[in-house]
């Protein structure tokens, strides 16, 4: 029996979360196959074949998968699913969109955002914004899971699996791709960065976020934001860390001008070391911070950047 991992990628490279998801699949047990469905993504299939522990890569290449359309991806996975005990994918925007379709069509209940594998049929996932952890047992013939990448280490890259081309699913007529606007950044990917510097409402403006960008660049880290900062238009939506944004667990998380609402903590409280810089000594963020500095961020952040130079 085998586990099918549906790789996440952008047709040029695998997303880091795929490596963490393979680790989860290896913990479930059995052979691990990776499906790379995309358009002009032969290089990605080769990359997937090098992940340690992967036995086979299935490569479905066609224009229908150019934009990871959930209707098409679900159809592709359904064609294969009955040969597997488990189908798993990262709990990112793409996986969250197509995987429940697969589960519904298999008549399986999906377990979302798995952070630990207890056994072949039992998994742990957070509920209530991470304020409780549910251990769930699932008896479906094909168990459907999405995996929270921060719950598992990344798999190594010294594998030698074979790549097998498979037929591409038919185009669904439900939806049509119109356009895409991606945020450009040279910094590391937020969800996978080892250092994250985040700003909240206290930053005051979009211009002031440059202070954090300079600090992040000094540390080689990524920049994040709280919902308040995103709602105020200081930063684009895809920078949001929290229950409804990205979940991060870096080595170092620096929260600047962030009060620490339940919904924000849900996205970062598994970070190894948390630093809070806030002028309000009673801000809830200080209850989870390893190191807290009660100070005006407009003085402390430039000083910190200078001290690290």
Partner 1 sequence: MKVLVAVKRVVDYNVKVRVKADNSGVDLANVKMSMNPFCEIAVEEAVRLKEKGVATEIVVVSIGPTTAQEQLRTALALGADRAILVESAEDLTSLAVAKLLKAVVDKEQPSLVILGKQAIDSDNNQTGQMLAALSGYGQGTFASKVELSGDSVAVTREIDGGAQTVSLKLPAIVTTDLRLIEPRYASLPNIMKAKKKPLEVLTPDALGVSTASTNKTVKVEAPAARSAGIKVKSVAELVEKLKNEAKVI
Of residues 202-221, which lie at the interface with partner 1 (CB under 8 A)? 219
The number of CA neighbours under 13 Å toward the Cβ of 245 is: 27
Nearer to partner 1, 55 or 263 (CB): 263
Nearer to partner 1, 54 or 275 (CB): 275
Helix (H) or strand (E) holding 123: strand 122-127
Footprint of partner 1 on 33-72 (CB under 8 A): 67, 69-71
Query: What's the rounded Cα separation, in Å, for the pair 300 and 114?
Result: 38
Query: What's the rounded Cα separation, in Å, for the pair 29 and 122?
Result: 13
Does the protein bind partner 1 through residue 13 (CB under 8 A)? no
Query: What's the rounded Cα separation, in Å, for the pair 124 and 132?
Result: 10
* Tally of CB atoms within 10 A around 136: 14
CB distance 257 to 297 below 8 Å: yes
Which tokens sit at 111? 């377990």
Among 1, 13, 63, 105, binds partner 1 (CB under 8 A): 105
Among 16, 109, 116, 120, binds partner 1 (CB under 8 A): 109
Among 82, 158, 162, 182, binds partner 1 (CB under 8 A): 182
Footprint of partner 1 on 131-160 (CB under 8 A): 131-140
Least separation in angstroms between residue 150's CB and partner 1 is: 13
Does the protein bind partner 1 through residue 186 (CB under 8 A)? no
Nearer to partner 1, 108 or 150 (CB): 108
Which tokens sit at 71? 């209707």
Answer positive or negative: Cα dihedral of 109, 247, 272, 201. negative
Nearer to partner 1, 158 or 179 (CB): 179
Footprint of partner 1 on 77-96 (CB under 8 A): 92-94, 96
């Amino acid at each position: 029996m085998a586990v099918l991992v549906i790789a996440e990628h952008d047709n040029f490279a695998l997303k880091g979360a795929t490596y963490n998801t393979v680790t989860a699949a290896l913990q479930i047990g059995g052979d691990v196959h990776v499906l790379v469905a995309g358009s002009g993504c032969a290089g990605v299939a080769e990359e997937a074949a090098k992940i340690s522990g992967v036995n086979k890569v299935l490569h479905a290449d066609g224009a229908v998968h150019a934009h990871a359309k959930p209707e098409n991806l679900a159809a592709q996975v359904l064609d294969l699913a009955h040969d597997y005990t488990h189908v798993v994918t990262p709990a990112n925007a793409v996986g969250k969109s197509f995987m429940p379709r697969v589960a519904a069509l298999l008549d399986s209940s999906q377990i979302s955002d798995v952070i630990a594998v207890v056994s072949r049929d039992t998994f742990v996932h957070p509920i209530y914004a991470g304020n409780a952890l549910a251990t769930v047992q699932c008896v479906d013939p094909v168990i459907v899971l999405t995996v929270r990448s921060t719950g598992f280490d990344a798999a190594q890259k010294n594998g030698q699996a074979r790549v097998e081309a498979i037929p591409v699913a038919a185009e669904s007529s439900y939806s049509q791709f119109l356009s895409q606007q991606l945020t450009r950044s040279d910094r590391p990917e937020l969800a996978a960065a080892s250092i994250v510097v985040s700003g909240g409402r206290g930053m005051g403006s979009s211009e002031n976020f440059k202070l954090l960008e300079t600090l992040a660049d000094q540390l080689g880290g990524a920049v994040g934001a709280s919902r308040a900062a995103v709602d105020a238009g200081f930063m684009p939506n895809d920078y949001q860390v929290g229950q409804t944004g990205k979940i991060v667990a870096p080595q170092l998380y620096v929260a600047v001008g962030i009060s620490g609402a339940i919904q924000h903590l849900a996205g970062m409280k598994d970070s190894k070391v948390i630093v809070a810089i806030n002028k309000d000594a009673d801000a809830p963020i200080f209850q989870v911070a390893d190191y807290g500095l009660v100070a005006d961020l407009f003085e402390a952040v430039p000083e910190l950047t200078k001290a690290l130079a």
